Amino acid sequence: MPDTVPGSLRAYLHGLPGVDEVGVRRRAADLATRSVKTTAKARAIDLAIRMVDLTTLEGADTPGKVRAMAAKAVRPDPADPTAPPVAAVCVYPDMAAVAAQALAGTEVAVASVATGFPAGRTPLEVKLADTRAAVAAGATEIDMVIDRGAFLAGDYGKVFEEIAAVKEACGEAHLKVILETGELACYDNVRRASWLALHAGADFIKTSTGKVTPAATPPITLIMLEAVRDYRALTGRQAGVKPAGGIRTTKDAIRYLVLVNEVAGPDWLSPAHFRLGASTLLNDLLMQRAKLATGHYGGPDYYTLD
Amino acid sequence: MADTPARIAVRRTYKLYIGGAFPRSESGRSYPVTSSRGTHLANAARASRKDVRDAVVAARKAFPGWSGRTAYNRGQILYRVAEMMEGRRAQFAAEVMAAEGIGRPRADAVVSAAIDRWVYYAGWADKITHVLGGANPVSGPYLNLSEPEPTGVVGVLAPAGSPLLGLVSVLAPVITTGNTAVVLADEHAPLPAITLAEALATSDLPPGVANILTGHLTELAPPLAAHADVNALDLTGAGDLSRALEESAAGTLKRVLRPGPADWTDPDPGTARMRPFLEIKTVWHPTGT
């Protein structure tokens, strides 16, 4: 597939089976009713914490804030050493060096957005330079955005080549491709963009930047999980999925884990193949964790703000 | 002409009051409520500890906005509650009669007293600051000011045996000073509390300032007392649970009010129920020589 010329790429993507929108919504809603309690809940919470990409993508980010967040990533609950560290810290490229320094020697990865995040409307040279700079600064995971304008205009070849070029610029770093599903207009496009990104070499496909509403939703994540599952069956390579944006509560996080297990399978239930892009989610996970341990509800006053 | 068909009764569903909405209990349960003579009146929602949690979240969310309003504005809104209650007099009186087993004239008097109690505490909203705070005479070149600030989210266990007047007498003093409240209504006579919630919902009181739960005290009070995001606890209706709840509240350093027996008919209850849920902040400001 990767050596396909753009003409047949179009035919290939439009030849993918259409998404049954009502069916997908129904299936996602059904899976959201699963009840996960007691010991299973405790395991799910710890797994969800290990899957969190703790994210700060604000214009007002300072080195101090990134360092504070890195400290929290390594030890989310200072009062409880049994709380596992998160998967990665996700920052803008100029903060990647700060994050890498703060996380040196820990198992927490440094993820950096790149390629003109969040709009992705810069020339390819700028995108590649952005990516190389982030990798050089110590980022081991790159979150790139696709050119939604080109995708919606039907210029799939351009999107494909950009992803492939960024993948090459990443070198050893993992590449997560943000589809920004909130701008893709329909579920069929989400499926097409997922397959396009996977064929172009994405290690992860990610729902959203978090700057556009709607961000991650269970039906969209379900479609993307189906794509990585079928892609592995086709090629043998296992890619991951990362819903990001709008996941704020433990209940939401656990629903995503159920979705992963039921749609893609237990092979995806690990931080290597499933991530949750979030910032406020972590505190809720920690509060629920403390609730299971102590028996009483916690309050936000007991946890750091960022 | 054919007979007109008998009208089908429109029965009322008594639900919880959380965050300005009237949800059923998360657990889907309800329990029968009987009059003082044992006749069945209605089924009330039986809240679960998750409803307690949701109510605390709603109260916390409402706190910055409510405490940030001017005291005058809070007073106006509480006065509006009294206006809304006035319009529901007949309903309140009927429920009080059934719950307390008293006659119409006495029930009317209880409803009047409850409405007057709202007006009483509405008036206190912009006056309490001057009673508890003010400029302090200090030796040194400082302007020294004290002012009372609301404690935060207050869990209120409404008294048993006085489902309307007692409830108003514990809820109004808590919210008039800018706190938000999660109230556990009288377990055996919760219907006036829900009718009060309907008055609150139609009187400009922001959603979440007062949240009213009905259900079993032994089930709801412990999670409320232990909740880390509740700042204070009013144990008026706790009965035998008082001691255990007080111990549990100590785990998160809550303010606790554990009052003695109260006479709810006293028309001038004073500041005794407002002061425990206020923190005095004192500011030292250097003055020129």
A206 is catalytic: yes
Q: Does some domain include residue A126?
A: yes
Of A296, A301, A302, the CB nearest to B223: A296
What is the model's pLDDT at position A130? Answer: 95
Q: How far is CA A211 from CA A59, A183, A207, A246, B255, in A?
A: 12, 11, 11, 10, 41
Q: Which of A250, A296, A303 to mutate to test the interface with B (most CBs of B within 10 A)?
A: A296
Q: Per-residue pLDDT for A224 more than 70?
A: yes
Structure tokens belonging to residue B269: 């209850």
Distance (Å) from the alpha carbon of B278 to chain A's nearest alpha carbon: 19
Name, in order, each residue with C-beta under 8 angstroms of B209's C-beta and a sequence gap of 6 or more.
Answer: B59, B62, B66, B175, B180, B181
Are the C-beta atoms of residues B20 and B201 closer than 8 Å to each other?
A: yes
Encoded amino acid at A272, one letter: A
Are the C-beta atoms of residues B147 and B281 closer than 8 Å to each other?
A: yes
Structure tokens belonging to residue A30: 């059904």
* Mean pLDDT value of segment B30-39: 94
Name, in order, each residue with C-beta under 8 angstroms of A186's C-beta and a sequence gap of 6 or more.
Answer: A19, A21
What is the model's pLDDT at position B12? Answer: 87
Alpha helices in chain B (DSSP H): 49-68, 71-86, 89-100, 104-124, 128-132, 165-176, 191-201, 217-226, 242-250
A143 is catalytic: yes
For residue A266, the 8-state DSSP code is: G
Q: How far is CA B154 from the centre of its chain?
A: 9
The band of A301, judged by pLDDT with boundaries at 50, 70 and 90, is: confident
Q: Which of A283, A291, A297, A303 to mutate to test the interface with B (most CBs of B within 10 A)?
A: A297
- Helix then strand then coil, in percent of chain B rounded to 5, is 40, 20, 40
What is the model's pLDDT at position A7? Answer: 63
- How deeply is B261 buried, as exposed, middle or buried, from its count of CB atoms within 10 A (0-12, 13-18, 19+)? exposed
Are the C-beta atoms of residues B81 and B203 closer than 8 Å to each other?
A: yes
Q: What is the pLDDT of residues B222-249, one digit of tens each?
A: 999 999 999 999 999 999 999 999 999 9
The CA angle B76-B82-B86, to the nearest 5 degrees, is 145
Q: Per-residue pLDDT for A1 more than 90?
A: no
Q: Kind and range of the H or E element at A8?
A: helix A6-14
Residue window 262-301, chain A: list those with CB within 8 Å of chain B.
295-301
Contact A297 B60 (CB under 8 A): no
Encoded amino acid at A195, one letter: W
What is the model's pLDDT at position B41? Answer: 93
Residue window 247-286, chain B: list those with CB within 8 Å of chain A.
248, 251-252
CA-closest candidate to residue B15, choices B239, B240, B157, B190: B190
- Beta-carbon neighbour count of residue B76 at 10 Å? 15
Q: What is the pLDDT of residues B150-168, one digit of tens each?
A: 999 999 999 999 999 999 9
Are the C-beta atoms of residues A217 and A32 closer than 8 Å to each other?
A: no
Are the C-beta atoms of residues A143 and A90 closer than 8 Å to each other?
A: yes
For residue A244, the 8-state DSSP code is: B
What is the model's pLDDT at position A6? Answer: 56
What is the model's pLDDT at position B200? Answer: 97
- Please identify which of the residues A167, A206, A252, A284 carries the catalytic annotation: A206
Are the C-beta atoms of residues A199 and A1 closer than 8 Å to each other?
A: yes
Spell out the domain ranges in chain B. Answer: 41-286
For residue B23, the 8-state DSSP code is: P
Closest Cα in chain B to A301: B229
CA-closest candidate to residue B36, choices B194, B186, B216, B168: B186
Number of CB pairs, chain A paired with chain B, less than 8 A apart: 28
At A14, phi and psi to the nearest 5? -80, -15
- Please identify which of the residues A143, A203, A252, A284 carries the catalytic annotation: A143
Query: Which chain B residues are Cβ-neighbours of A295 within 8 angstroms?
Result: 226
Is any Cβ of chain A less than 8 angstroms from the Cβ of B229? yes
Cα(A229)–Cα(B199) distance, integer angstroms? 55
What is the model's pLDDT at position B4? Answer: 83
CA-closest candidate to residue A278, choices A77, A118, A53: A53
A242 is catalytic: yes
Q: Tell me whether strands B180-184 and B134-136 are parallel, antiparallel or unpaired.
A: unpaired
Q: Does some domain include residue A266?
A: yes
Query: Which chain B residues are Cβ-neighbours of A79 within 8 angstroms?
Result: none
Name, in order, each residue with C-beta under 8 angstroms of B17's C-beta and a sequence gap of 6 or more.
Answer: B194, B197, B200, B201, B210, B211, B212, B213
CA-closest candidate to residue B73, choices B204, B222, B161, B169: B204
Q: What is the pLDDT of residues A252-283, one digit of tens each?
A: 999 999 999 999 999 999 999 999 999 999 99
Look up the CATH number of the domain holding residue A211: 3.20.20.70
Closest Cα in chain B to A287: B228
Q: Rounding to the nearest 10 degrees, give the CA dihedral for residues B60, B65, B71, B77.
A: -90
The band of A8, judged by pLDDT with boundaries at 50, 70 and 90, is: confident
Cα(A214)–Cα(A90) distance, integer angstroms? 20
Query: Which chain A residues are Cβ-neighbours of B63 within 8 angstroms?
Result: none
What is the model's pLDDT at position B280? Answer: 96
Distance (Å) from the alpha carbon of A291 to chain B's nearest alpha carbon: 10
Cα(B156)–Cα(A294) distance, integer angstroms? 23
Q: Tell me whether strands A141-145 and A174-178 are parallel, antiparallel or unpaired.
A: parallel
Distance (Å) from the alpha carbon of B50 to chain A's nearest alpha carbon: 10
Cα(A39)–Cα(B288) distance, integer angstroms? 64
Q: Roughly what angle, to the nearest 10 degrees, separates helices A218-235 and A187-200?
A: 40
Are the C-beta atoms of residues A137 and A97 closer than 8 Å to each other?
A: yes
Structure tokens belonging to residue B207: 């959603």
Is any Cβ of chain B less than 8 angstroms from the Cβ of A63? no
Query: Which chain A residues are Cβ-neighbours of B251 within 8 angstroms?
Result: 296
Distance (Å) from the alpha carbon of A252 to chain B's nearest alpha carbon: 16
- Beta-carbon neighbour count of residue B201 at 10 Å? 16
The band of A4, judged by pLDDT with boundaries at 50, 70 and 90, is: very low
Prediction ipTM score: 0.80
* Mean pLDDT value of segment B196-213: 97
Of B223, B229, B251, the CB nearest to A299: B229
Q: Does some domain include residue A252?
A: yes
Strand, helix or coil for residue A69: helix
Domain of residue A205, residue span: 10-295
What is the model's pLDDT at position A194? Answer: 97
Topology of the domain comprising B41-286? Aldehyde Dehydrogenase; Chain A, domain 1 (3.40.605)
What is the model's pLDDT at position A295? Answer: 87
Contact A295 B226 (CB under 8 A): yes
Q: Kind and range of the H or E element at B152?
A: none
The band of A71, judged by pLDDT with boundaries at 50, 70 and 90, is: very high
* Mean pLDDT value of segment A108-132: 95
Structure tokens belonging to residue A101: 């320094």
Name, in order, each residue with C-beta under 8 angstroms of B82's C-beta and a sequence gap of 6 or more.
Answer: B115, B116, B118, B119, B122
Rg over CA atoms, chain A: 19
CA-closest candidate to residue A110, choices A78, A132, A139: A139
Q: What is the pLDDT of residues A162-196, one digit of tens each?
A: 999 999 999 999 999 999 999 999 999 999 999 99
Query: Which chain B residues are Cβ-neighbours of A302 within 8 angstroms?
Result: 228
Task: Count structural domains, chain A.
Answer: 1
Contact B229 A301 (CB under 8 A): yes
Q: Tell me whether strands A276-278 and A52-55 are parallel, antiparallel or unpaired.
A: parallel
Q: Does some domain include residue A3?
A: no
